Amino acid sequence: MKELNLPVHLLIEKYKKGDFLPSQLIESLIKKIKEKDKHINSFIKVFENQAIERAKILDKKIKNKEKTGSLFGVPVAIKDNILVKDAETTCASKILKGYIATYNATVVEKLLLEDAIIIGKTNMDEFGMGSSNEFSSSGPVHNPLKKGYVPGGSSGGSAAAIAAGFATCALGSDTGGSVRQPAAFCGVVGFKPTYGRVSRYGLVAFASSCDQIGPITINVMDSWTIFRIIAGFDEKDKTTFDVPAPEIPEEEIKFRIGFPEKLLEQGVEEEIKARLDEILREFVKSKNYELKNIEMRSFRYAIPVYHIITGAEASSNLARFDGIRYGLRLEGKYLEEVYKKTRGYGFGEEVLRRIIMGGFALRSGYYEEYYIKAQKARSMILEEFMDNFEKVDFIITPTSPFPAFKIGEKVEDPIKLYLSDIFTVSANLSGIPAISIPCGKTGEGLPIGMQIMAKPLDEGRLFKLSLQLEDFIKQRYGN
């Protein structure tokens, strides 16, 4: 079936014209996943029967000419840290093996209300901790665009599933770049909304002050469509905003774009730097926009700040996984031994590293020196963003300083791996929205991602610029 990789609006158009039925599409998709995902490993669980059953219900809606939702028959993959009722949610961790969710996350409810079809749960770095999808109890994910390369992480399964054409859209979670970086590595679009735009109810928490759910899609318009559906106030998540949904402005706006040139002088691969520079200069010229060189001194401190804060939050959030109420339980002579054995065996090495680091930052005697200092530096990062947003409307950087790398290449040196998030973590620390869009490939054929960051709650204008840039890049470099 050729129609497997269509964007949302074209897919729905085909259904409406009667070209095929949702059940036919889902059957073809499942066949494709069965054939090809054994080499990619993007799914932890495929909902074969449930997805076909739901598609057949949707078939009837067409036959009966009933009203249909805006995601009618659209196959969506869900990262395995987002709850789907009656399905196993493992967060790619041994400690949650066998845990069956008793309710739907708010985002899942919203997708189902619009007639989407949940096709399965995608692989990820355990509890969202990682940038390569090598830290998963379900095994590493392979980049569908280049064999033996990582897809990025932590939402690597979601990005790989979209790049491989296993679903039309996917949801990921982004705590430090976990939607944007894998999207960049796999040549698709990944978006992290403003903190508080999308409900986190039903998302297994990693670092609650940075976590945000976002879509991974084949193009910018699909990302907008999904974002508009999942955004909004939720009584079950009191950090969500009760503000109207954003709109893409129709009027012509002369945008001012900030580009931290100095920042790119160190550590960014030459090919990536040159590509971004070329696109931006030509794009602003063609649109008569303004391109300003800005300073972002705080980026240098962002990753250490991020690791102190998210480690501290994770050590607290993950305390609930103790083998008593759900998931894995290892035998022990007394309660404390059960906790220690279960947690020591159930958590993977990267999770243990992070919670140990976070526990240290919160320890009496070190709290001021690490945790409080990091929170002060976080205020500085936010201030620098806000100062810059007085001068420019958007800040553009590469999504990652390097493209996808070989599986195993950086796994032995976690700090090297952490550096892949240098451009993405600041948006989480300051809560601003940011998107990654594809901007061509390296000589080796590896996708390059461009990150666009905007003021808080300015998603409408962010998408306007992203659509223009996507169009410009496609015209220049093709798909």
Partner 1 sequence: MKLDYKKEIDTLCSLLRIEVQDRLKYVEHLKKMLDWFKVLDEIDLKDYKPFIHSGFHKLLLREDKILQFKEENKIIKNFPEKIDRFLKAFSPIKESKKR
Can 131 be counted among the known catalytic residues? no
Residue from 18, 333, 475, 478 binding partner 1 (CB under 8 A): 333
Can 137 be counted among the known catalytic residues? no
Q: Which is nearer to partner 1, 72 or 127 (CB)?
A: 127
Residue from 328, 392, 407, 437 binding partner 1 (CB under 8 A): 328
Closest approach of Cβ 193 to partner 1, in Å? 12
Hunting for tokens 């078939």 — which residue is that? 59
Residue from 267, 345, 387, 391 binding partner 1 (CB under 8 A): 345
- Binding flag, residue 390, partner 1 (CB under 8 A): no
474 class by beta-carbon count within 10 Å (0-12 exposed, 13-18 middle, 19+ buried): middle
Given the residues 178, 199, 298, 436, select the one marked as catalytic. Answer: 178
DSSP 234: B
Q: Which is nearer to partner 1, 228 or 329 (CB)?
A: 329
Q: Which is nearer to partner 1, 50 or 239 (CB)?
A: 239
Residues within window 273-302 making contact with partner 1, judged by CB under 8 A:
300-301
Residue from 86, 247, 278, 282 binding partner 1 (CB under 8 A): 86
- Binding flag, residue 378, partner 1 (CB under 8 A): yes
- Give the chain's length: 479
Can 376 be counted among the known catalytic residues? no
Residue from 293, 336, 390, 478 binding partner 1 (CB under 8 A): 336
Hey, what are 150's tokens? Answer: 């990582």
Alpha helices in 172-321 (DSSP H): 180-186, 220-230, 270-287, 299-317
Closest approach of Cβ 438 to partner 1, in Å? 29
- Binding flag, residue 360, partner 1 (CB under 8 A): yes
Residue type, 50: Q
217-240 exposure pattern, b = at least 16 Cβ within 10 A, e = fewer? bbbbbbbbbbbbbbbbebeebeeb
Alpha helices in 47-143 (DSSP H): 48-63, 106-113
Closest approach of Cβ 344 to partner 1, in Å? 3
DSSP string, 122-148: E--SGGG--SSS---TT-PPPPTTSTT
Closest approach of Cβ 308 to partner 1, in Å? 7
Hunting for tokens 């402005």 — which residue is that? 249
CA-closest candidate to residue 211, choices 427, 419, 379: 427
- Binding flag, residue 456, partner 1 (CB under 8 A): yes
CA-closest candidate to residue 127, choices 189, 208, 34: 208
Residue from 31, 34, 238, 406 binding partner 1 (CB under 8 A): 238
- Binding flag, residue 414, partner 1 (CB under 8 A): yes
Given the residues 79, 110, 121, 410, select the one marked as catalytic. Answer: 79
DSSP string, 146-166: STTB---SSSHHHHHHHHTTS
Q: In whole angstroms, what is the distance from residue 352 CA to residue 343 CA?
A: 9
Closest approach of Cβ 343 to partner 1, in Å? 5
- Binding flag, residue 314, partner 1 (CB under 8 A): no
Phi, psi values for residue 74, rounded to 5° = -85, 120
- Binding flag, residue 113, partner 1 (CB under 8 A): no
Q: What's the first-to-final CA gap in the chain, in angstroms?
A: 20
Kindly indicate which of the ranges 6-14, 128-136, 325-333, 446-454 contains the residues binding partner 1, using the contact rule CB under 8 A.
Answer: 325-333
Kind of pairing between the strands at 447-454 and 434-441: antiparallel
Closest approach of Cβ 382 to partner 1, in Å? 7
Per-residue string for binding with partner 1, 192-231, x by CB under 8 A? --xxx-----------------------------------
DSSP string, 3-19: GGG--HHHHHHHHHHTS
Kindly indicate which of the ranges 58-66, 125-133, 304-312, 459-467 contains the residues binding partner 1, using the contact rule CB under 8 A.
Answer: 304-312
Q: How many residues bind partner 1 (CB under 8 A)?
A: 71
Point out the residues that are catalytic: 79, 154, 178
